[in-house]
Structure 1
Amino acid sequence: MTDLIEHLVEQRGIGTEFIDAWGKPAVIARQTQIKLLETLGYPVDNEEALLTQLENEAIIEWQTPLNSVYVFRGNDNLQVVMRCVISDAAANYSLRITTEEGVKHSIKFQAVDETLLLAQEIDGLEWHQYAVDLPLSLPLGYHTIELYLARKKLASARLIMAPQRCFIPKAIQKGKKSWGFSVQLYCLRSGRNWGMGDFTDLIYLAEHAAQLGADFIGLNPIHQLYPANPDACSPYGPSSRRWLNYLYIDVEQVDGFQSKAVRTWFEEQGIAARLAKLRAEEWVNYAAVAEIKLTALSKIFAEYQVEHLSKASPQKREFDAFVEAGGDSLKGLAIFEALQMYLKEQGEEYWGWQVFPEQFRNADSPAVKRFAKKHASSVQFHMFLQFQAQLQFENASKAATDAGMSIGLYRDLAVGVSDGSAEIWSNKDLYCTDVSIGAPPDVLGPLGQKWGLPPMDPEMLVEQAYQPIIDLFSSNMKASGALRIDHVMALLRLWWVHNDDDASDGVYVNYPVDALLAILALESQRHRSLVIGEDLGTVPEAIREKLQANGVFSYRVFFFEQAEDGGFYSPSHYPEQSMATLTTHDMPTLSGYWHCDDLNLGRELGIYPDQAVLQNLFAERHENKQHILNTLHGHGSISEQISNDVNQVGMTEALNFGMQKHMAQGSSALLSLQLEDWLQMDKPVNIPGTFAEYPNWRRKLTHNLDEIFGNANLLALAGALTQNRQNESK
């Protein structure tokens, strides 16, 4: 039984050991591996049943003539694996390849003449596995390959041809050093939005930032969350990563807002006064914003149906094309959201598919099909929301590049979807819902992290010919100058934790990293979208080298770039192929860090029950601040009027701006700065490890956008940043 378990552990890519965040070897407990195998459906407590299952799986594999997918890079020798019984090895086969463009190729062969890889006897028949050469030069893209025996089609598969590296703009290849902002879009304040930042605010931000020399605006994940449950607002726990959060729609820009019915509602219900109140609030009131936006958009949609969708209008043709392109994914999302809304109105549980009435828990059930037909207008409404969101995002992206930004908007791809999501509901076979991904203990999370996001099953991902990943990369790169991949280690491995276990009792599960990187490179080149990989935490050095070779930019955070003696590395030593930043959405702001607001807040919230641990953190922070002052003074990044004694230095505008200018003198091709640090804000946007204890993902900026770009000190800072970046480009 032990040999069987070891075989399965290796076959399913389950880790046995790893190097932790402190550089020490860590061994995965055998019991943890066994529990995971159980979760994957293996009867590990019954040797006979396990043997039978493995034998059946092997038979199915051998009797499958082609793999589901073959992935190649542009300069690879093309070889596909095929399987047949030995008695057919001398028969006349053909492989027919059809490219994306419809060009057809045919290769005739006899398996016996090809390279024999393996042989296996099954039920008295000997099966052979061959490597068949394809003497072709195929273009980049997604092609179809079919295997024929004489005129009989035996199997078909996907053949992917990918480039060597991800897209990198020529200016950056030639040494240009760019800077830009990273923002939480909902945080933006303006005198016209409806209580949270929207795509029109984004246009304003991009156009004005471009005038100051910024080359990009980096966004938080803008994935679709839950219209029926707007307070589930974490951008890193979405319902779908393929589709957009409709709350970012500027309702007033949607065709139909000026109709008489909508304007009458707006005026009679005193919406303007309600919106003014929502704009004035310190925190985003998602429930109130959603209630007004959904009401307005539903009224607009009613007008839109009559004016456009009921006729052969240009708008209908454009909408129909959008729906067709969105396919099953868009329809599944729209049905899911219409169903959630319906259940909420009926007073039933609705937060996720797990609590739906039994007949609705499977997306392809007859009851769901009947619901979609009966509530076709509601389903169409939710597709309409995605249509409008996509139009407005594309307009914002065009505005950024038209304003002169060399990169424009860049999106952030969350590492997963939440367990009750539409994405899982629509494709349950792909996800392991008894498991959550997370991270082993590291500097950021000494107890480990458990994110409540079910992982994709690597075997099922291959079986589905990587289509979910292709769709994911493509949809997030569309109309984007760059894509930041949160927890880029997911391309190599993910930390799986059973839902019943602590985060530290997890295990790494490997993913087909070379195939995933190939697809990433292909989509990156197609969309001309630069790729940034968030490679923080427990990261094997080998994967950093692989990411670099594939053209993926590293992510370097100043506070984590420390030498063994505690000193901070100069940003001039960061890799050129990287994005540098001072802080992130999971960290305190510069002011919050310097004044230990995060530690004090953590103490108030009970995050640090062990006082000794907390005191050590205060002592470490004090020491790190001294090292930071030493670094800044050593490089002449701050005035000598600022003391070099940490005991005499509080966070000031001069110190804040000095740190940002210090980063601008670095070697990283990209520098990302947060607007909250420009505004010297102290409250964090998110406190990892908290849920109800703190209003995560709700805090707004302290100033309206027009006030930011009218501030002389901030304009001077922008000029200095642009100058420093230009100097580094020479």
Structure 2
Amino acid sequence: MRRRGDRVGPADLVLEDGAELRVTDALPPDLPFGYHTLRRPGDDTPHLLIVSPGRCRPPDRRAWGWAVQLYAARSRTSWGVGDLADLRRLAGWAAGRGAGFLLVNPLHATAPVTPVQPSPYYPASRRFHSPLYLRVEDVPGAAGVLDEETIARGRALNDLPELDRDATWRLKLAALERVWESGPPGEEFELWRAGKGAGLEEFATWCVLAERHGPSWRAWPAGYRRPDGPAVARFARDHAPRVRFHAWLQWLTERQLATAAAGLPVIQDLPVGVDPDGADAWSWQDLLAQGVSVGAPGDEFNAAGQDWGLPPFVPWKLRQAGYRPFIDSVRATIAASGGLRIDHVMGLFRLWWIPSGASAAQGAYVRYPAGDLLDIVALESHRAGAPVIGEDLGTVEPGVRETLAERGLLSYRLLWFEQDDPAAWPESAMAAVTTHDLPTVAGLWTGSDLAEQRRLGLRPNEDGSRALRAALAAHGGLEPDADAAHAVLSAYRLLAKAPSLLLSATLDDALAVPERPNIPGADALRPNWRLPLPVPLEDLETLPLPRELGEILRAAVDADASPAGQRP
């Protein structure tokens, strides 16, 4: 990646806005931030020139907010899965009580067929969103075609104790097809579609191919396995109306997400990678390493290590491609939001590659061009006007947190992980008690999380869990027979001592839910990613525990109302 003042010799420079400059020696010192093209005499291939501010934009102010598994946050008007109208409702409720943001699970696209992939961290694409989250009644034209029976069937799915994404998607897809058939979407959609370019068309074509031939492109007829082949071009022409329909679903999803995020910043989550059978892997297959997946080596919380089943980009191929897959993924995820959380941010520095057929313990680290990737993150943060949080949990090599701090990424600090008093945590951080992969406060305090792991035949860290519970009791002033609600409030009083710029609480803790959303490695043993909140949003808004928890964090933020970065 070149920088202002670098010597490049004679070259033609085409700026992102189309302006052309002649460079005789060094790059001009006043180049605008952006993605520019450098052409040298004699070079067959132009060079991508990325001019970055180098640092991410910080939060505008200190704030607290809610971490939300959107699919679990159902209202009485949902169709079995929390949707973007529910996100809008949550944002209004949270803002009305002083919250400054919502942190949501990844909302990225999965294959548009059943069974629907339940894990938000195993997306088919990081460039597009899942239309499963659409509120059908809010789609333009829906009022004229939706009947009461369909709406009632959708809302009846809320009565299920576990999410049935397949039933929800079948019902929503049929309803959306009826809306589509009732009339053309109009010029606004066509202009949006044209502006999205080839990437949207390729994704929409993949969706139609997945409907015809299944969700795994590697099992498709040979002619369809490459997006640039003549068979795919013919297929797209032959199925143009259906390709247009899937583009329309993306337009609807983008519009509803923007509406939901208009009243309160929504921080979106960027997963580590993508489904090897999905759209992005199909589009960028030449840039991905074959026969390996990424994961994590063993640590004190998981001695066997983890294999996430996600294919990694080959570092030199990613660079040769001008980092386009990474740029597109970051930009799409940070768009129309109030921030970006990068899952396993250490992957910008190195990733644990695991050969096919090997155990997670038999992997090895492969280095990535962290400087270039962080420059891209900073540029996209600057353009979106949004802060970035790096999820730096687990095995973090020396120097990574320091580098992230220099680049303006917020660290991610958890009460369950940190040994220090929260008052000693860094200011440049998002502070939380737990995550979707770790025990809830109620699960830890009551022992139900340990009991579930034992029941599933897993090997929980018994000593570590007991020590964590004892620490919560000691530092939180809890009696042994305290109930889960008191444990929740004590945990968040401890968290409120942190000087971190962002304080985050989960809705699971706000309702004293004992089950965590996900137990890693237990997908076949329990309903990971399929547990709804125990009450609808209408009830959550009236309960005392969410109100009291929010008041604890609001008081901590209000006690220090100075603008971010200007506090003593």
TM-score bucket of the superposed structures, by smaller chain:
over 0.9
Q: Please give the residue correspondences for 1:65-80 in structure 2 after superposition, counting only pairs within 5 Å.
A: 70-72=1-3, 76-80=4-8
Match of 1:559 among 416, 419, 429: 416
Distance in structure 2 (CA, Å) of the matches to 1:170 and 1:218: 16
Distance in structure 1 (CA, Å) of the matches to 2:45 and 2:440: 56
Aligned to 1:381: 245
Aligned to 2:177: 298
Distance in structure 2 (CA, Å) of the matches to 1:681 and 1:712: 14
- Please report how far the alpha carbon of residue 219 of structure 1 lies from its aligned counterpart in structure 2 after TM superposition: 0.4
Asked if structure 2 preserves the Cα contact closer than 8 Å seen for 1:534 and 1:554, the reply is yes
Match of 1:235 among 96, 120, 126: 120
Asked if structure 2 preserves the Cα contact closer than 8 Å seen for 1:163 and 1:521, the reply is yes
Distance in structure 1 (CA, Å) of the matches to 2:548 and 2:399: 42
Aligned to 1:52: none
Asked if structure 1 preserves the Cα contact closer than 8 Å seen for 2:78 and 2:135, the reply is yes
- Please report how far the alpha carbon of residue 155 of structure 1 lies from its aligned counterpart in structure 2 after TM superposition: 4.6
Distance in structure 1 (CA, Å) of the matches to 2:369 and 2:88: 38
Distance in structure 2 (CA, Å) of the matches to 1:327 and 1:434: 31
Identity among equivalent pairs (%)? 37
Asked if structure 2 preserves the Cα contact closer than 8 Å seen for 1:595 and 1:650, the reply is no
Q: Deviations over 1:662-690 (max 9, x none)?
A: 21221111111001101011122111012
Equivalent residue letter for 1:106:
R
Match of 2:329 among 464, 472, 485: 472
Residues 601 and 160 (structure 1), Cα distance of their counterparts in 2 relative to 1, 3 Å cut: same
- Please report how far the alpha carbon of residue 430 of structure 1 lies from its aligned counterpart in structure 2 after TM superposition: 1.1
Distance in structure 1 (CA, Å) of the matches to 2:443 and 2:545: 21
Aligned to 1:215: 100
- Please report how far the alpha carbon of residue 715 of structure 1 lies from its aligned counterpart in structure 2 after TM superposition: 2.3
Secondary structure class of the residue paired with 2:175: helix
Residues 507 and 576 (structure 1), Cα distance of their counterparts in 2 relative to 1, 3 Å cut: same
Q: 2:212 matched to 1:284?
A: no
Distance in structure 2 (CA, Å) of the matches to 1:385 and 1:186: 18
Greater Rg, structure 1 or structure 2?
A: 1
Aligned to 1:143: 36
Match of 2:203 among 333, 338, 347: 333
Distance in structure 2 (CA, Å) of the matches to 1:196 and 1:432: 35
Q: Give the structure-2-normalised TM-score.
A: 0.95
Secondary structure class of the residue paired with 1:495: strand
Distance in structure 2 (CA, Å) of the matches to 1:712 and 1:446: 39
- Please report how far the alpha carbon of residue 107 of structure 1 lies from its aligned counterpart in structure 2 after TM superposition: 2.9
Match of 1:580 among 431, 436, 451: 431
Match of 1:657 among 473, 489, 497: 489
Aligned to 1:395: 259
Asked if structure 1 preserves the Cα contact closer than 8 Å seen for 2:337 and 2:386, the reply is yes
- Please report how far the alpha carbon of residue 154 of structure 1 lies from its aligned counterpart in structure 2 after TM superposition: 5.2
Aligned to 1:190: 75
Q: 2:280 matched to 1:423?
A: yes
Distance in structure 2 (CA, Å) of the matches to 1:98 and 1:339: 37
Match of 2:23 among 107, 119, 140: 107
Aligned to 1:165: 55
Distance in structure 1 (CA, Å) of the matches to 2:548 and 2:466: 30
Aligned to 1:623: 467
Secondary structure class of the residue paired with 1:137: coil
Q: Deviations over 1:431-475 (max 9, x none)?
A: 113110000111232111100100011111111111111111111
Q: 2:526 matched to 1:685?
A: no
Distance in structure 2 (CA, Å) of the matches to 1:136 and 1:524: 22
Match of 1:670 among 480, 489, 502: 502
Aligned to 1:708: 540
Residues 137 and 623 (structure 1), Cα distance of their counterparts in 2 relative to 1, 3 Å cut: closer
Asked if structure 1 preserves the Cα contact closer than 8 Å seen for 2:446 and 2:484, the reply is no
Aligned to 1:35: none
- Please report how far the alpha carbon of residue 713 of structure 1 lies from its aligned counterpart in structure 2 after TM superposition: 4.4
Aligned to 1:489: 346
Residues 104 and 619 (structure 1), Cα distance of their counterparts in 2 relative to 1, 3 Å cut: closer
- Please report how far the alpha carbon of residue 506 of structure 1 lies from its aligned counterpart in structure 2 after TM superposition: 0.5
Secondary structure class of the residue paired with 1:451: strand
Aligned to 1:312: none
Distance in structure 2 (CA, Å) of the matches to 1:619 and 1:665: 26
Aligned to 1:250: 135
Secondary structure class of the residue paired with 1:367: helix
Aligned to 1:48: none
- Please report how far the alpha carbon of residue 135 of structure 1 lies from its aligned counterpart in structure 2 after TM superposition: 4.8
Alpha-carbon RMSD across the aligned residues, in angstroms, is: 1.7
Secondary structure class of the residue paired with 1:235: coil
Secondary structure class of the residue paired with 1:673: strand
Q: Deviations over 1:460-501 (max 9, x none)?
A: 111111111111111111111110000001110100001111
Aligned to 2:397: 540
Asked if structure 2 preserves the Cα contact closer than 8 Å seen for 1:665 and 1:725, the reply is no
Distance in structure 1 (CA, Å) of the matches to 2:390 and 2:296: 16
- Please report how far the alpha carbon of residue 710 of structure 1 lies from its aligned counterpart in structure 2 after TM superposition: 1.4
Equivalent residue letter for 1:580:
A
Aligned to 1:320: 190
Residues 101 and 361 (structure 1), Cα distance of their counterparts in 2 relative to 1, 3 Å cut: closer
Distance in structure 2 (CA, Å) of the matches to 1:290 and 1:658: 40
Asked if structure 1 preserves the Cα contact closer than 8 Å seen for 2:13 and 2:20, the reply is yes
Q: 2:525 matched to 1:632?
A: no
Distance in structure 2 (CA, Å) of the matches to 1:593 and 1:669: 26
Distance in structure 1 (CA, Å) of the matches to 2:467 and 2:22: 68
Asked if structure 2 preserves the Cα contact closer than 8 Å seen for 1:412 and 1:484, the reply is yes
Q: Which runs of 5+ in 1 are unaligned?
A: 1-69, 83-93, 109-131, 309-314, 344-349, 401-407, 563-568, 609-613, 634-641
Asked if structure 2 preserves the Cα contact closer than 8 Å seen for 1:582 and 1:663, the reply is yes
- Please report how far the alpha carbon of residue 271 of structure 1 lies from its aligned counterpart in structure 2 after TM superposition: 2.0
Distance in structure 2 (CA, Å) of the matches to 1:147 and 1:333: 33
Secondary structure class of the residue paired with 1:278: helix
Matched pairs, number: 562
Asked if structure 1 preserves the Cα contact closer than 8 Å seen for 2:442 and 2:512, the reply is yes
- Please report how far the alpha carbon of residue 721 of structure 1 lies from its aligned counterpart in structure 2 after TM superposition: 2.2
Aligned to 1:442: 299
Distance in structure 1 (CA, Å) of the matches to 2:409 and 2:545: 35
Distance in structure 2 (CA, Å) of the matches to 1:133 and 1:443: 50
Asked if structure 1 preserves the Cα contact closer than 8 Å seen for 2:511 and 2:545, the reply is no
Q: 2:177 matched to 1:275?
A: no
- Please report how far the alpha carbon of residue 230 of structure 1 lies from its aligned counterpart in structure 2 after TM superposition: 3.9
Aligned to 2:553: 721
Q: 2:476 matched to 1:605?
A: no
Asked if structure 2 preserves the Cα contact closer than 8 Å seen for 1:661 and 1:724, the reply is no
Q: Deviations over 1:188-243 (max 9, x none)?
A: 12111111111111111001111111000000000001211343111100000010
Distance in structure 2 (CA, Å) of the matches to 1:145 and 1:665: 50
Asked if structure 2 preserves the Cα contact closer than 8 Å seen for 1:251 and 1:257, the reply is yes
Q: Which runs of 5+ in 2 are unaligned?
A: 563-568
Secondary structure class of the residue paired with 1:462: helix
Asked if structure 1 preserves the Cα contact closer than 8 Å seen for 2:441 and 2:514, the reply is yes
Q: Give the structure-1-normalised TM-score.
A: 0.75
- Please report how far the alpha carbon of residue 281 of structure 1 lies from its aligned counterpart in structure 2 after TM superposition: 1.2
Distance in structure 2 (CA, Å) of the matches to 1:533 and 1:412: 10
- Please report how far the alpha carbon of residue 77 of structure 1 lies from its aligned counterpart in structure 2 after TM superposition: 2.9
Secondary structure class of the residue paired with 1:559: coil
Q: Deviations over 1:693-719 (max 9, x none)?
A: 111111000111121111244324322
